[in-house]
Each structure stands twice: as structure tokens, then as C-alpha cells.
Chains A and B, each alone.
Chain A
């Protein structure tokens, strides 16, 4: 078991390193340096700036220095507004984490519930309705869903105040972010519930006279949960990327919106910083969900 853990953690570290290398060298491949702006600055100033950011050194050395600073939490400064990138990330990620956390909770709890219902009433109308809507939800891009929700609930029906300077309304963003993973979890839960309920131990439990509800939850759901755990890693990745769209549509001002802005502004150092930060989160989440999966399910062999 420990061997597996060590191997998995090593893979995660290699992945993070690969992301750093790809981002760094990709950004370096873009023609023109960060200080070649439209306003031609004094050569002396430019040289000073390049010295400050080690741009006068060979690329390989720059990379080593960049990684070194990265481990001290220094992601450099934004090329557009000169702010510390680590500071921007710290502020905006608080918002994104809250939005993503609520969405993940909604997706998991609703998805599990609907999945159990669909499995319980297999091929009856509740199952058909649930599967119809989840199939539909899986074919709507998140920015379309977010824009439609915004249009319908704020301008047409005027039920929700779209934007308030003091307070962010998380309802619509959470719905637009949570629907796709919820649909996925529903289908996953349904199919794994159906698989589990056909197992011999379920029949044994029923034969012993265990009440149906108890069989569904204690014997069935616990085992049906396993595939859902493996989906948590990809779900976090989906939510982090999806929140770029949703935050931009609802102008919430989280990390996703910062990222979209930096892409639109071609703010390379900011793109680099956010990519590395988000990658580390995604890789870590994948690692945790893999490790938890192995701990929770003792049947899996570790060779």
C-alpha cells in the first residue's frame, strides 16, 4: 500500500514539475519580451527591468531561478498592472474557492440523491425524467447556461438582483456551475447502484430479512459511492475551469475571471502564475481522490 502511495505522490510531483516547465518554456516561445510594450521605454530602464527579472540570463538559468522563486511563493508581477501575482491569486481565490466549494457540495448531494432515485425506480417515470434532464444538461455549454439563467432570472423575471456592490449572490453561479457535474454524478450513481444491487451480498442481506431501506443505504450506497469518489478529482478540475466562464458571465471577480482577463489582455506572467497555481490544485485534488479511493476500498490490490 505504501509503495502505491509513494508512486502516486511521485507522479503528482513529476506532473506539477512538467506543468511548470511547459508553462515556462511555452511563455518564452512567444515572440517579444514582457517589456517590449508599445511605449518604447528607455534602453537603460529596460535593461534594469530585465536585470531585475533575470531576463538577461540564459533561458535555462531563468527557469531554475523562476522555480526557486516559485517555491518561495513568488510568482512575479503582472505585466499589465504591476501588481504582485501571488497577492491577486490570494484575494481572488477566496471567492472562487467559496463558489467552487458550494457548487461541489450541491453537485454531489443532488447527484447522489437523484442517482439513487433513478436506480430505485429503474425504467419507471422518475428514472426517465431524471435521465432525460441529465442528458439534456450534459449537452449545454456552461457559458450558454449561465447567460440564459442571467437573462431569464434577472432581466426577464427580475427575481434576482444581478449585481450588488456589497454582496455577491451565489445562487445563479452555483446553479450554472453545479449542473454538469451533478448530471454526471447522477448517471454514475445510477449505473453503479444498479451494478451493486445485483451483487450476491445484497441478496443475502435481503434474504436475512434486513429492511429494504437499510439494504439500499448500508449495503448498496456505500459500495456504489466508490466510482463517485474517483470522479471528485475530475469534478474539481471541471469546476475550477468552469468557474472561469461562470465568474466572467456573472462578474463575480474570482480567480477564473482574473484568468480570463489575463488571457484577453495577453498578460503572460499572470497567465503563467494562474496556470501553475490552478494546476497544482487540480493535481493535488486528483492525488487526494485517488488515495482516498484506495483507502476506502480495501478490495483493490496495490501491486
Chain B
């Protein structure tokens, strides 16, 4: 018999590391059950999404946005009119067809209908050239949303690359790169956007003739160029600040000390920690791009003519606002609805994914 202390060590040789297993008891089933993980482990995304879904306003806005996107994709296919199609009846232009009120028929159409011809109604009326206004509004929403998304993707890519290079490099390179950002940041962006749009429309008009870019039109193209030139600085600053802050964290040091490569540190530690801020800021960039587009359209610098955007539709409607106020109403409502839902979704994403930024 040997004497044993509480730790099961052999009393005669107190410094021995050999453990006497006989003093240990197997855990009962009940004790084992305590170790079970009660709920499945939650990832960052699942957590954020759950928070987002709790926010009824933001989740409702997301659903509304999805409905809008499906509507603008599907409904124009169901309506037999094109966005730039001047509607003709039996191959003839109809003067009374222009500027119709919602659900109104022109005289020639009524005749044709009396003769037993099926004609699709103009649900939102027609514009001054006799084009179906519902189709134009839906196409305009498409264009505006496309501009918003694409512009924020441009901003995201340039800002992300520039900001992360600057943040990682540090030192003199960082200082120089951030000085450039400081200068661009303090430029009056709206004025330069107007200026560059004027210049680019004149300067690139001939150069893109015949290429696929001419389909986009100079107006939209110059808008994207301007976004790419000026709007990325905010994103670059944000990304750089995030990376600088995260780089200093102890878990990055710990990862480095166990021999993780730079690529792994970026992938596993830095990106997941700043991605939420980047996504939120990209989401909030979309409505601001839609705003900018509508402003440029007001100045006549928006998308090129037969193609409608919400901004150009609204600004065209201003001319005949006294006689046809409904023509301003639809695109204006659509802009407000889009910007409102996108803003609420952006705020909701911020609350859900980044409690630090919550206001």
C-alpha cells in the first residue's frame, strides 16, 4: 500500500510525475452530458444575419428591395412595349397617343379596340413622344440601380486595393499615399464631377464609337470614370484605418509567432475583421450614387437620350409639371423608395454586423 495525496501522486516519491490511475473515476453519463454543446456554434455571418432579421424595418426593406428588383426584371417582359418604342397603331403614328394619363386610351386605340383588337393598356400613361411610361419608369429604375451598384463596386475595388496596400506597407509609402488621398478628399467632389462629366462627354465621345462601351453611352461612362477617380478615397481611408488597427492586435502577433504567413494572416485574421465595415460602407454608397446620378441628370449630364434613368425621367417631367404632374410623381417616388430602402438596409446592416459603429 502506498500513501497517496489528493493528486494521486505516489507518497514515497513526491516528485514523480507518474500518476496512479486507480484514484480517478470515470465520469458518469450525467457529467458527460454537461460537456455537450447545447446549441450549434454560430458563425459571424449567421450571427449578423440573425440580428439583421430581428430588425423588422431593415428586413422589410430588404424584402421590398428584392420585390422591386424582381419587378423591374420581369414586368417589362410582360408588357409588349419597348422603353424606346414610339407606339404605333397599325403601323401609323398616333398624335393623340402622347401624354396620356394613366390607364387612358388614345382615339385611334379606341377605334382599334372597337374593331375587336386587343391592346395592352398604358398603366402609367405615355410620355410626350408616345412611349409607354410604365416601361420607361421600370427601365429607369433598372438603370439607376445598375449605376448605383456598379459605381459602388468600382469604389469598393479601388478603395480596397489602395487602402490595404497603404495600410500594409506602412511607413513612408503609407504617408505618401495618404497625402494623395487627403488632397483628393478635400477636393469639392460634386463640382469636379460636373466639370469632368462635361469634359468627358466631349472628349471620349468619338473614341468609344463602335466599341461595346458606346452602348453604355458617354454620360454613364463618364459617370463611372468620375466615381472611379474621386469617390474611392473615403473607402481607401476606411480600409487603411481598419487594417492599421487590426494589424496591432495581439491575435495577429500570436498568429505570426506560430509561423502564419502574411497571406494567411490577411485571409484569416484581417479580412474577416474588417469585412463588415467594408460591406456596410459599400451598401451605403449605392443610394448616394443614385442621388448623384439623378443630380447629374437634372443638369442634363446623365445617361444618354433614349435610355431613361429615374433622374432623367424626373427632370424631363419638370418641363410640363403644370399639365402632367403624375409624370414627375412616379420616377420621384421610385427614387425615394429606392434610396429609402437602401439607406434603411445599410443602417440595418451596420447595426447587425458592427455594434461598434452603432449610432
A interface list, Cβ under 8 A from B: 11-12, 14-15, 18-19, 22-23, 26-27, 29-31, 135-136, 138-144, 147-148, 150-151, 155, 187, 191, 237, 241, 244-245, 249, 259-260, 263-264, 266, 268, 271-272, 275, 278-279, 282-283, 286
Within 157-202 of B, Cβ neighbours of A (below 8 Å) are at 182-183, 186-188, 190-192, 194-196, 198-199, 202
Q: Which residue of A23, A245, A282 contacts B298 across the interface (Cβ within 8 Å)?
A: A245
A-contact 0/1 string along B312-332, CB 8 Å cutoff: 001100100110010010001
- A249-B341 Cα distance, complex, nearest whole Å: 27
Using a Cβ–Cβ cut-off of 8 Å, how many residues does chain B contribute to the interface with A? 39
Q: Which of B186, B301, B328, B336 contacts A139 (CB 8 A)?
A: B336
Shortest CB-to-CB span from B249 to chain A, Å, is: 23
In the assembled complex, the CB of A257 is this many whole angstroms from the nearest CB of chain B, namely: 11
Query: Across the interface, do A147 and B199 meet the contact criterion of CB distance under 8 Å?
Result: no
Q: Known pairs A27-B199, A147-B321, A151-B322. 12 more at Cβ < 8 A?
A: A22-B195, A143-B294, A144-B314, A147-B318, A151-B321, A187-B359, A237-B190, A241-B188, A263-B299, A268-B198, A271-B198, A282-B191
A11 and B340 within 8 A (CB): no
**A23 nearest in chain B by CB position:** B195
Given contacts A30-B202, A136-B340, A139-B287, contact A14 B183 (CB under 8 A): yes
Q: How far is the CB of A42 from chain B (nearest CB, A)?
A: 25
Mask of B255-289 contacts with A, CB within 8 angstroms, 1/0: 00000000000000000000000000000000100
With A19-B188, A237-B188, A260-B299 as known contacts, state yes or no: A143 contacts B199, CB within 8 Å: no
Q: A26-B196, A139-B340 are in contact. Are A278 and B188 (CB under 8 A)?
A: yes
Q: What are 12 A-B contacts defined by CB distance under 8 Å?
A: A19-B192, A23-B195, A31-B202, A139-B340, A141-B298, A143-B314, A143-B318, A151-B322, A151-B325, A241-B295, A249-B318, A286-B186
C-alpha gap A267/B126 in the complex (Å): 34
Q: Is B187 in contact with A15, judged by CB distance below 8 angstroms?
A: yes
Task: State the CA gap A283–B189 with chains docked (Å).
Answer: 11
Task: Report the minimum CB–CB distance from B163 to chain A (whole Å).
Answer: 19
Which residue in chain B gives the minimum CB-CB distance to A266? B198
How far, in whole Å, are A31 and B294 apart by their CA atoms in the complex? 27
Cβ of A31: which chain B residues have Cβ within 8 Å of it? 202-203
Interface centre among B187, B191, B315 (most CB of A within 10 A): B191
Interface residues of B in 202-239 (CB under 8 A from A): 202-203
**Contact of B188 with A141 in the complex, beta carbons under 8 Å:** no
Which of B187, B195, B336 is in CB contact (< 8 Å) with A18?
A: B187
In the complex, chain A residues whose CB is within 8 Å of the CB of B188: 19, 237, 241, 278-279, 282-283
Chain A residue nearest to B311 in the complex (CB): A141
**CB proximity of B347 to chain A, nearest CB, Å:** 9
| Chain B residues whose CB sits within 8 angstroms of the CB of A15 once the complex forms | 183, 186-187
Complex: A138 Cα to B335 Cα, angstroms: 11
* Chain A residue nearest to B332 in the complex (CB): A144
The answer to whether B192 and A263 have CB atoms under 8 Å apart is no
Find chain B residues with CB under 8 A from A150 CB.
Answer: 321
B252 on the A face (CB < 8 A): no
> Do the beta carbons of A191 and B359 come within 8 Å of each other?
yes
A19 touches B344 (CB 8 A): no
Query: With the chains together, A26 CA to B187 CA distance in Å?
Result: 15
Interchain CB contact under 8 A, A30 and B203: yes
If the complex has contacts A27-B199, A30-B203, A286-B186, are A275 and B287 also in contact, measured as CB distance less than 8 A?
no
Q: Flag if B191 contacts A279 (CB, 8 Å).
A: yes
Q: Among A26, A191, A259, A283, point to the contact of B186 (Cβ < 8 A).
A: A283
CB distance from A175 to the nearest CB of B (A): 17
Bound-state Cα–Cα, A279 to B294, Å: 22
**CB within 8 Å for A245 and B199 given contacts A151-B321, A151-B325:** no
Closest to B359 in A: A191
Please report the C-alpha to C-alpha distance between residue A119 and residue B299 in the assembled complex, in whole angstroms.
38
Is B339 part of the binding interface, using a Cβ–Cβ cutoff of 8 Å? yes
Task: With A29-B199, A249-B318 as known contacts, state yes or no: A12 contacts B359, CB within 8 Å.
Answer: no
B149 within 8 A of A: no
CB-CB under 8 A from A268, the residues of chain B are 198
CB contacts (< 8 Å) of B203 on chain A: these are 29-31
Instruction: Please tell me if B76 contacts chain A, counting CB pairs below 8 Å.
Output: no
Asked if A11 meets B328 with Cβ closer than 8 Å, knowing A144-B314, A271-B198, the reply is no
Contacts of B343 in A (CB 8 A): 135, 138-139
B150 at the interface (CB under 8 A from A): no
CA distance A143 to B344 in the complex (A): 22
B340:A19 contact, CB within 8 angstroms:
no
B300 within 8 A of A: yes
Among B199, B202, B294, the one with the most A-chain Cβ atoms within 10 Å of its Cβ is B199
B38 to chain A, nearest CB (A): 33
Most buried by B among A14, A144, A155, A275: A144
Residues of B within 8 A of A22 (CB): 187, 192, 195
Residues of A within 8 A of B199 (CB): 26-27, 29-30
> Which residue from A14, A187, A264 sits with its C-beta under 8 Å from B300?
A264
B81 within 8 A of A: no
Minimal beta-carbon separation of A217 from chain B (angstroms): 22
Q: Which of A14, A141, A187, A191 contacts B294 (CB 8 A)?
A: A141
Q: Is the CB of B202 within 8 A of A141?
A: no
B49 contacts the other chain (CB 8 A): no
